[in-house]
């Protein structure tokens, strides 16, 4: 019986609730409304709701001008802006996009359960918190799931679907079907810290910071190596400045603690000091680079041999992390590669890239680092060793 009720979720007559009208919440509301759903967008702040409405009006008008949508007003009319969580009472699904704080989320989910129907799915857009912990606050924990969008949600194609140990098969199937119907690329991830993307991407920042701290190269040179030689859309320091060093550092600390202080995820003092100084990046006018008016960007040292050394070191760490995610059944090999290309715009899937380089070469480079530093962060994944021994490939 429950399956039939939940199954209606994927039809257009279901109301979608979104809690939190910040950039992520309003982005999710935009997607749902564009896909013909009536949406209830709730935020306790009148000011935040006003901003969200103004921002969505501007974005949707621009999309209408570009003929991406037939009518901006039609999409806006489907969104109800509200300060009352009780307005979620007729929703088929509620997606929470509020502050990354477990206690706050647990209180919110426990309260939502007293408002919504028995068949309503409760989803969290958390990027790194345990879905099982959030679900534990609910009497019907089987209806809780992680649905993690990437910012900006309307533009980024990837969505990670994260069932908790308590999540029912119906909830998982219906949630994934709904997001697929919204024309997003979905991947299924195990409920572990950072899921796929935020876990696998850690060395992109961490190893770049380590290379800088060792005095091998400056920010601009590392960024140049990764974009020009590696084909990445943004270098690690440009990207951290774009995300915000406060946000990126907090995620790093969270993942590090959640993995019982595994050295692979160890935060960097350089980033900590930038965050403490209020050098968050673009939003504060200063980060690894100076964004003040008239400030000149530093020039990179375009030494090809140095650039290749930087690229190889970061890339091997990323590949090893992707291999370890597969080894620990975080996701399928297809979903891991899809997540990294669609979620963070990597030029290639890391496992396919490993095949291209040659697994033996990847292992040799990691072992060289491991032998030199004697640090756990460079330990090769057991799956990589096993595959080299067997002469295997991922694809």
pLDDT in tens, 37-94: 999 999 999 999 999 999 999 999 999 999 999 999 999 999 999 999 999 999 999 9
CA atoms of 308 and 90, how far apart (whole Å): 56
Q: Are 157 and 130 in contact (CB under 8 A)?
A: no
Same domain, 182 and 324: no
Q: What is the DSSP letter of 124?
A: E
Q: How large is the average pLDDT for residues 271-278?
A: 94
Q: Among residues 26, 198, 268, 381, which one is catalytic?
A: 198
The answer to the question of residue 332 being in a domain is yes
Per-residue pLDDT, 11: 66
Per-residue pLDDT, 6: 43
Same domain, 80 and 221: no
Q: How large is the average pLDDT for residues 294-298?
A: 92
148 among known catalytic residues: yes
Residue 100, helix vs strand vs coil: coil
Same domain, 117 and 230: no
CA atoms of 82 and 88, how far apart (whole Å): 10
**CB half-sphere exposure, 213, CA atoms < 13 A:** 13
CA atoms of 152 and 203, how far apart (whole Å): 23
Mean residue pLDDT of the chain comes to 94
Residue 255, pLDDT > 90, answer no
Phi/psi at 206 (5° precision): -60, -45
Per-residue pLDDT, 179: 96
Residue 134, pLDDT > 80, answer yes
Same domain, 293 and 365: yes
Q: Among residues 38, 96, 148, 320, which one is catalytic?
A: 148
Task: Kindly indicate the confidence band of residue 183, based on its pLDDT and cuts at 50, 70 and 90.
Answer: very high
37 among known catalytic residues: no
The answer to the question of residue 298 being in a domain is yes
Asked which of 188, 217, 235 is the last residue of a domain, the reply is: 188
The answer to the question of residue 395 being in a domain is no
Per-residue pLDDT, 128: 82
Per-residue pLDDT, 250: 86
Q: Among residues 127, 168, 175, 245, which one is catalytic?
A: 127
Give which of 19, 28, 151 is closest to 85, Cα–Cα: 19
> Lowest mean pLDDT: which of 10-14, 55-59, 152-156, 275-279?
10-14
Q: For residue 96, what is the enclosing H or E element?
A: strand 91-96
The answer to the question of residue 122 being in a domain is yes
DSSP bridge pairs for 161: 147, 188
Residue 10, pLDDT > 70, answer no
Q: How large is the average pLDDT for residues 258-266?
A: 92
DSSP bridge pairs for 40: 17, 80
Q: Are 196 and 187 in contact (CB under 8 A)?
A: yes
CATH number for the domain harbouring residue 59: 3.40.50.720
Asked which of 159, 188, 217 is the last residue of a domain, the reply is: 188
pLDDT of 143-173, one tens digit each? Answer: 999 999 998 999 999 999 999 999 999 999 9
Per-residue pLDDT, 69: 93
290 among known catalytic residues: no
| pLDDT-above-70 percentage for the chain | 97
Same domain, 205 and 131: no
CATH number for the domain harbouring residue 303: 1.10.1040.50
Residues 6+ apart with CB under 8 A from 323: 351, 354, 381, 383, 384
CA atoms of 156 and 342, how far apart (whole Å): 7
Same domain, 179 and 203: no
Per-residue pLDDT, 55: 96
Give which of 223, 226, 207, 201 is closest to 288, Cα–Cα: 223
Same domain, 23 and 69: yes
198 among known catalytic residues: yes
Q: How large is the average pLDDT for residues 238-265?
A: 90
Asked which of 188, 220, 245 is the last residue of a domain, the reply is: 188
Q: What is the DSSP letter of 32?
A: H
Same domain, 247 and 153: no
Phi-psi group of 260: left, alpha or beta (phi > 0 → left; psi -120 to 50 → alpha; rest → beta): left
Instruction: Count up the domains in the chain and report the number.
Output: 2
Same domain, 126 and 246: no
Same domain, 295 and 344: yes
Q: How large is the average pLDDT for residues 127-143?
A: 95
CA atoms of 46 and 361, how far apart (whole Å): 57
Q: Among residues 160, 170, 207, 321, which one is catalytic?
A: 160
pLDDT of 325-344, one tens digit each? Answer: 999 999 999 999 999 999 99
Concatenate the DSSP letters of all residues of 300-362 into one string: P---HHHHHHHHHHHHHHHHHHHHHHHHTTSS-HHHHHHHHHHHS--SS-HHHHHHHH-HHHH
The answer to the question of residue 194 being in a domain is no
Residues 6+ apart with CB under 8 A from 56: 26, 29, 30, 76, 79
Higher-pLDDT residue of 204, 255:
204
> Lowest mean pLDDT: which of 119-123, 202-206, 252-256, 354-358?
252-256
Same domain, 141 and 251: no
In 98-177, the DSSP E strands lie at: 121-124, 144-149, 158-163
Residue 315, pLDDT > 70, answer yes
Q: Residue 332's domain spans which residues? A: 199-390
How much is the pTM? 0.92
Same domain, 12 and 142: yes
Residue 230, pLDDT > 50, answer yes
């Amino acid at each position: 019986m429950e399956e039939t009720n939940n199954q209606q979720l994927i039809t257009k007559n279901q109301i979608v609730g979104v809690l939190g009208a910040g950039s992520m919440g309003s982005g999710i509301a935009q997607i749902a409304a564009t896909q013909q759903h009536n949406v209830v967008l709730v935020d306790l702040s009148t000011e935040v709701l006003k901003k969200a409405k103004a921002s969505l009006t501007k974005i949707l008008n621009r999309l209408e001008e570009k003929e991406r949508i037939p009518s901006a007003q039609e999409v806006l009319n489907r969104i109800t802006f509200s300060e009352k969580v009780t307005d979620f009472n007729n929703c088929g699904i509620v997606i929470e996009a509020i502050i990354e704080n477990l206690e706050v989320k647990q209180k919110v989910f426990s309260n939502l359960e007293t408002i919504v129907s028995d068949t309503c799915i409760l989803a969290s857009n958390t990027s790194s918190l345990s879905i099982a912990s959030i679900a534990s606050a609910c009497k019907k924990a089987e209806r809780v799931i992680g649905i993690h969008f990437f910012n900006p949600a309307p533009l980024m194609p990837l969505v990670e679907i994260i069932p908790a140990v308590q999540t029912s098969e119906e909830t998982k199937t219906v949630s994934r079907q709904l997001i697929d119907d919204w024309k997003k690329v979905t991947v299924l991830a195990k409920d572990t810290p950072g899921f796929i993307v935020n876990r696998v991407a850690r060395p992109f920042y961490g190893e770049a910071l380590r290379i800088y701290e060792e005095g091998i190269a400056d920010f601009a040179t590392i960024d140049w190596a990764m974009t020009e030689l590696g084909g990445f859309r943004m270098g690690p320091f440009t990207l951290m400045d774009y995300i915000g060093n406060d946000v990126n550092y907090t995620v790093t600390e969270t993942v590090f603690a959640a993995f019982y202080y595994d050295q692979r995820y160890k935060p960097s003092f350089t980033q900590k000091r930038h965050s403490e100084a209020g050098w968050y990046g673009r939003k504060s006018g200063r980060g690894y680079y100076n964004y003040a008016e008239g400030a000149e960007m530093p020039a990179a040292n375009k030494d090809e041999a140095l650039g290749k050394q930087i690229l190889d070191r970061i890339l091997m760490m990323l590949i090893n992390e992707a291999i370890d995610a597969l080894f620990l059944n975080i996701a399928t090999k297809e979903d891991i590669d899809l997540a990294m290309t669609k979620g963070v715009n990597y030029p290639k899937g890391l496992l396919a890239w490993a095949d291209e380089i040659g697994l033996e070469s990847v292992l040799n480079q990691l072992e060289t680092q491991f032998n030199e530093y004697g640090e756990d962060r460079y330990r090769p994944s057991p799956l990589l060793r096993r595959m080299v021994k067997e002469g295997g490939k991922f694809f």
